[in-house]
Amino acid sequence: MTGVSQATVSIVLNGRSEGEVRIAPETRDRVLRAIAETGYVADPVARRLAAGHNRIIGVFTYESVFPTSNSDFYHPFLVGIEQRAESLGSDLLLLTSAPVVDGRRRIFHEGNRLRLADGCVLLGRSLDREELARLLADGLHFVSIGRRDDAGGPVPYVGADYAAAVSALVHRAVRLGHTNLAYLGHGGPAESWADRMRGFTDTVSSLGVQGIHLPPATPAPAAVGGVGGGVAEVWERVRAAGVTAVFAEDHADGVALYQHAKQLGVPLSIATLGEPMRPGNESNVEFSGFRIPRQRMGAEAMDVLTALIEGNPTQTQRLLECELVVGETLVERK
Amino acid sequence: MTGVSQATVSIVLNGRSEGEVRIAPETRDRVLRAIAETGYVADPVARRLAAGHNRIIGVFTYESVFPTSNSDFYHPFLVGIEQRAESLGSDLLLLTSAPVVDGRRRIFHEGNRLRLADGCVLLGRSLDREELARLLADGLHFVSIGRRDDAGGPVPYVGADYAAAVSALVHRAVRLGHTNLAYLGHGGPAESWADRMRGFTDTVSSLGVQGIHLPPATPAPAAVGGVGGGVAEVWERVRAAGVTAVFAEDHADGVALYQHAKQLGVPLSIATLGEPMRPGNESNVEFSGFRIPRQRMGAEAMDVLTALIEGNPTQTQRLLECELVVGETLVERK
DNA sequence: TCAAGGGGCTAATACGAATTAGTAAACACT
DNA sequence: AGTGTTTACTAATTCGTATTAGCCCCTTGA
């Protein structure tokens, strides 16, 4: 159309016409006009092959991106990711082609397309350790949302500082007169749960108050509704130990226990360490706890990833502060 | 390592050694052994470049996919799209960066990345006719979610059969004794609204009952809350015409009118022809109407698009049946 | 002995951009 | 006029794989 060579188009397209290689402004305009008219876009695949990058960021989730049930757990993260992608001028590629094996998506599989993108944001409660190790070994650019333990090397991540948040809650409880606390939950296996429990255990021992660990009453991990029929049992153990403040790993567990105690007319302080999976408070009680800065996590993950891709990584492991929620359920000990 | 050519490796890798091109079993084993030893994996990028397509499906929305407010509207479509993408082994490229010109997003603009993908799903209440025409003219593969009129040629779409749904509701109203009906809404400009009104008008005239058309009281299109302060006016016209059943294009309009009539203690049947924009019924009345099969629309759009891309299009214009909601607001005429 | 007919493999090319070496033309300066 | 120097571009190569035309060698048959 313009009578120029492919090389010229490439140079114009990549805005290199001002540096070492120069193109006359008129020629450049002619090319740009033709591009605008035809809507031409460089093939990302060829681009990636030739240049090694294509301004596409992959988003890999271990569950569906657009979930049916647990209303938008990912949503806030994605808002942050999308915002940053837009300002960076990158497109987002949802790696939905990864097949589900044994109930979870696998990154590595025959025909995995991770390399189509310049880098990848990993989203999921728990990431497979072996896959992380392989990502590191293969030298692929990626960031995990949520802290991860080393996997044959340090894993780049942007996580929430659960340990600090829980610690702050414990401090508050102690300030309110509680000296007999309990952590209700598994404390694992994902790093996020472990961090919460560590925050509890460390703070309790450093403050010299009593802190016990209660496993949730419902052992089945797939069971919904948290504590389920076992609230009564948990309650018994809480009473027996003389606990006056409970830190519930799972929001639903905390809610159930709170309502149980309230029905019995016994005062019990509760802090929940996870956000409700479903929006809309069943009861309209605001639970004490903290808020995970999801949107910011998404945005910062993009920052880390960009830096990684461009070869000047700074602070590839970040923990963001959670916002404390005072709420109504963590109150002075009577 | 094995002393064979790159071509041989490619052939072995793709298991073509039994067809037209043949490789001796011993050679094949030697290659396979070397592959196993080195852990070699074909570069997916080069693979895609050679293959000519990239198994990327673009998703174009006239608004951001992840904004907090209107995500609920798109969500079900996206669930369907993602599900199908997964089973088709495609990745999804979010084309959210379209700039807003004259109050609406444009597909074609400087730097649009539409051609990145093999094809594209278009999502939005109303699509620009010229842009559709250009998509057709350029021979780009795409499907619209929602029926579209021809734009210099037939537009591939997967829509909801609003005409049939409204028709069914009108039939029900007549069966319940109503003979004086009204359609409350613009009946345009988008195809989806026109279809609803056509369903009403056609059915009313074929059944030989009276059916009038009432424009919504709030003329400003941007105004939220539907009928707003104009309910009273609408109500006057309904009374004056002796209408006993109203078909409200906009959900909010229907709700407002229903409540107005209820307050006055006058029986009035209402059917709403659009789903509420915000979840959570303000009042806990279940309105009569229908449900749009959004998730299925998303999935079938992917089917149509895939067929289009692969060059064997079948049924590129589909209307899916809506599920009728009996509800409590369309009742027997007293 | 020579042609015909496979089997088994490779050289060459395509895919679509990015990059680099190089070249022609214009210009500057002695 | 001769010798740099700059400007503005293009030809050629590269990335890693898929594909195809074709080559060589071994059989077979007359």
Contacts 24+ apart (CB under 8 A), A222-225: A225/A252, A225/A256
Tell me: the pLDDT tens digits for A99-108? 777 767 778 7
B13, B35 in Cβ contact below 8 A?
yes
Cβ atoms within 10 A of the Cβ of B89, count? 13
Class of domain B162-291: alpha beta
* Third-level CATH fold of B56-160+294-322: Rossmann fold (3.40.50)
Q: Per the CB < 8 Å rule, is B54 touching A41?
A: no
Q: What residue spans define the domains of chain A?
A: 6-41, 51-160+294-321, 162-292
pLDDT tens digits, one per residue of A124-159: 887 888 889 988 888 889 999 999 999 999 999 999
pLDDT of residue A70: 45
Q: What CATH number should be reported for the domain whose range is A51-160+294-321?
A: 3.40.50.2300
Q: How far apart are the first and last CA of chain A?
A: 83
Q: What is the pLDDT of residues A270-310, one digit of tens each?
A: 999 987 655 444 567 889 999 999 999 999 999 999 999 98
Q: Is A94 on the interface with B (CB under 8 A)?
A: yes
Q: What is the pLDDT of residue B226?
A: 45
Check whether A218 has a pLDDT greater than 80.
no
pLDDT greater than 90 at residue A312:
no
Q: For B16 and C1, how far is CA from C1' in angstroms?
A: 38
Report the range of poorest mean pLDDT among A153-167, A286-300, B49-63, B317-331.
Answer: B49-63
Find the nucleotide nearest A52 (Cα to C1′): D15
| Cα R_g (chain B), whole angstroms | 26
Q: What value does the mean pLDDT take over residues B272-276?
A: 82
What pLDDT digit, counting tens, does each position of B215-232 carry?
A: 886 654 444 444 445 888
Tokens of B108: 């074609």
The answer to whether the Cα torsion of B277, B278, B280, B282 is positive or negative is negative
Mutate to test the interface with A, among B38, B40, B48 (most CBs of A within 10 A): B48
Residue B126 predicted with pLDDT over 50:
yes
* pLDDT, average across residues A181-199: 93
- Decide whether B56-160+294-322 matches B162-291 in CATH topology: yes
Please give the biggest Cα pair distance in chain A: 87
**Distance of alpha carbon A273 from the chain centroid:** 15
State the pLDDT at residue B67: 53
Q: In the predicted model, is pLDDT for residue B14 greater than 80?
A: yes
- Give the best residue of B75, B91, B96, B109 to mutate against chain A (max A CB count within 10 A): B91
Q: What would the pLDDT profile of B128-160 be if each residue is shown by its tens digit?
A: 888 888 888 888 899 999 999 999 899 999 999
Q: Is the pLDDT of residue A234 over 70?
A: yes
Q: How far is the C-alpha of A34 from the C-alpha of A1, rounded, in Å?
A: 7
Q: Compare all CA atoms of chain A with the CA of B43 and give the residue at the minimum distance.
A: A115
Highest mean pLDDT among A27-31, A157-161, B37-41: A157-161
Least confident of A167-176, B130-139, B200-209: B130-139
Look at the block and give the residue holding tokens 């570069």. Answer: B43
Cβ separation A82–B64 shorter than 8 A: yes
pLDDT at A223: 44
**C-alpha to C-alpha distance for A126 and A61, rounded to whole angstroms:** 10
Q: Do B85 and A99 touch (CB under 8 A)?
A: no
pLDDT at site A130: 87
Cα distances from A221 to residues A185, A189, A217, A225, B276, in angstroms, run 11, 11, 11, 11, 35
Find out if CATH 3.40.50.2300 is the number for domain A162-292.
Answer: yes
Percentage of chain A lying above the pLDDT 70 cut:
90
Output A75 or B318, whichever has higher pLDDT.
Answer: B318
pLDDT greater than 70 at residue A51? yes
DSSP class of A181: E
Protein residues with Cβ atoms closer than 7 angstroms to any atom of nucleic acid strand C: A 6-7, 10-11, 13-14, 16, 21, 41-43, 46-47, 49-51; B 3-8, 11, 21-24, 26-28, 46, 49-50, 52
- Mean pLDDT taken over chain B: 85
Which residues, including other chains, have CB under 8 Å from residue A215's CB and lie 6 or more apart? A184, A185, A186
Count A/B contacts: CB-CB distance under 8 Å: 117
**A38 or A149: which carries more pLDDT confidence?**
A149
Residue B187, judged by CB atoms within 10 A of its CB (0-12, 13-18, 19+), counts as middle
Q: Average pLDDT for residues A13-26, to the nearest whole number?
A: 86
* A7-CA/D2-C1' distance, Å: 34
Given a cut of 60, is residue A221 above it in pLDDT? no
Mean pLDDT of chain A: 87
- Residue of A41, A49, A89 lying closest to B116 (CB–CB): A41
Q: Is the pLDDT of residue B282 over 70?
A: no
